[in-house]
């Protein structure tokens, strides 16, 4: 375990970039051979739009990198946080640390983004994608990076995570983001077995259905147990019944233009059908599915 700790404590930037690019490349090929949906879209153009949003997102995230590093150094120096308060072997530190970071930096912030109107206006840019594939995991408004980094830093403080666990978590998070969004077919039994612990492609695709209540389920990124524990887990019998996007922005002029995507959080708010901010619509397609 010493070599493992040392590697992630001094992880090369090239390795982290390789996980990001390599993961996209790998699942790009797999989803081309075993696609879940035949979208018939301009895949390269679609990837280009998501890549532009990613570039802005990364720039904002890098602005918080120093704060993230400082938080990790502070908890380590002051023996603060769960990992410093409870004695445990390194392998258990990895599990507990990654689970806590996944809870705060992925599940909790994601849940809050769906419940707070101001935050939802930024996050819905991710949901506007009507052709969910591996590059959709990169499709986030740069403003959302602020929310994600704040919650991740909170997770580092609560967990008392040393920087090597933070870097390992970020590596795992990137890999699962690619995996979960990839437009790939999987044996249903295998997907459901894996989803007892981990977030899987079929599980996450439910979250990308265009209307509630399914939009407000399956918030996790690495571990599925958070959704199961907090009652936000959902599955459908046939994943191919799902329709991607968000009911308020189904016009291609809105979801297929980078400039408009960047403007969405500052446009007049349109509540999703059936949301607490709008009128209930008992006839929406999503309500035909069972949690």
Residue 79 has a pLDDT of 97
> How many angstroms separate the first and last alpha carbons of the chain?
41
Q: How many CA atoms lie within 13 A of 85 on its CB side?
A: 10
pLDDT tens readout for residues 82-95? 999 999 999 999 99
β-bridge partners, 35 = 184
Q: Are 93 and 164 in contact (CB under 8 A)?
A: no
Task: List, for residues 12-65, the tens digit of each pLDDT value.
Answer: 777 777 877 888 899 999 999 999 999 988 899 999 999 999 999 989 988 999
- Could you list the beta-strand ranges (E) of 159-269: none
Domain ranges of the chain: 2-185
pLDDT of residue 35: 94
In angstroms, rounded to a whole number, what is the distance separating the alpha carbons of residues 181 and 43? 14
pLDDT value, residue 274: 60
Q: Residues of the chain whose pLDDT is less than 50?
A: 278-291
Place of tokens 């990839």: 182
SS3 24: helix
Helices (H), the chain: 2-9, 13-33, 43-63, 65-77, 82-85, 90-102, 109-115, 117-127, 142-159, 163-181, 188-194, 201-207, 225-229, 252-255, 258-263
For the entire predicted model, the pTM comes to 0.90
* 5 contacts: CB under 8 Å, gap ≥ 6: 90, 164
Asked if residue 197 lies in contact with residue 224, where contact means CB atoms within 8 angstroms, the answer is: yes
pLDDT at 254: 83
**Which tokens is 218 given?**
């399956």
Helix locations, 160-195, DSSP H: 163-181, 188-194
Q: Looking at residue 286, what is its pLDDT?
A: 35
The answer to whether the bond into 213 is cis (omega within 30° of 0) is yes
Q: How many CB atoms lie within 10 A of CB 154?
A: 16
Spatial contact of 230 and 291, defined as CB atoms under 8 Å apart: no
- Spatial neighbors of 138 by CB under 8 A, at least 6 apart, are 24, 50, 51, 53, 54, 57, 177
């Amino acid at each position: 375990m010493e070599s493992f700790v040392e590697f992630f404590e001094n992880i090369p930037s090239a390795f982290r970039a390789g996980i990001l690019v390599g993961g996209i490349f790998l699942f790009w090929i797999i989803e081309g051979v075993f696609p879940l949906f035949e979208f018939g879209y301009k895949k390269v153009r679609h990837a280009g739009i998501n890549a532009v949003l990613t570039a802005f997102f990364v720039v904002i995230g890098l602005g918080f990198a120093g704060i993230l590093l400082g938080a990790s150094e502070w908890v380590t120096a002051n023996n603060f946080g769960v990992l410093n308060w409870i004695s445990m072997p390194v392998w258990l530190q990895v599990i507990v640390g990654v689970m806590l970071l996944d809870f705060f930096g992925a599940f909790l912030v994601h849940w809050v983004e769906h419940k707070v109107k101001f935050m939802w206006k930024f996050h819905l840019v991710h949901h506007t994608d009507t052709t969910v594939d591996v590059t959709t995991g990169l499709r986030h408004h740069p403003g959302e990076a602020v929310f994600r980094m704040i919650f991740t830093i909170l997770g580092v403080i609560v967990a008392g995570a040393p920087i090597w666990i933070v870097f390992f978590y970020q590596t795992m998070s990137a890999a699962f983001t690619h995996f979960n969004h990839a437009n790939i077919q999987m044996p249903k039994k295998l997907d459901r077995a894996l989803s007892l612990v981990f977030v899987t492609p079929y599980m996450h695709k439910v979250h990308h259905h265009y209307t509630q209540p399914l939009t407000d389920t399956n918030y996790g990124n690495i571990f599925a147990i958070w959704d199961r524990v907090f009652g936000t887990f959902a599955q459908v019998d046939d994943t191919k019944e799902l329709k991607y996007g968000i009911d308020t922005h189904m016009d291609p002029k809105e979801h297929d233009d980078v400039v408009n995507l960047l403007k969405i959080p500052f446009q007049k708010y349109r509540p999703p059908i059936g949301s607490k901010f709008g009128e209930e619509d008992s006839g929406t397609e999503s309500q035909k599915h069972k949690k």
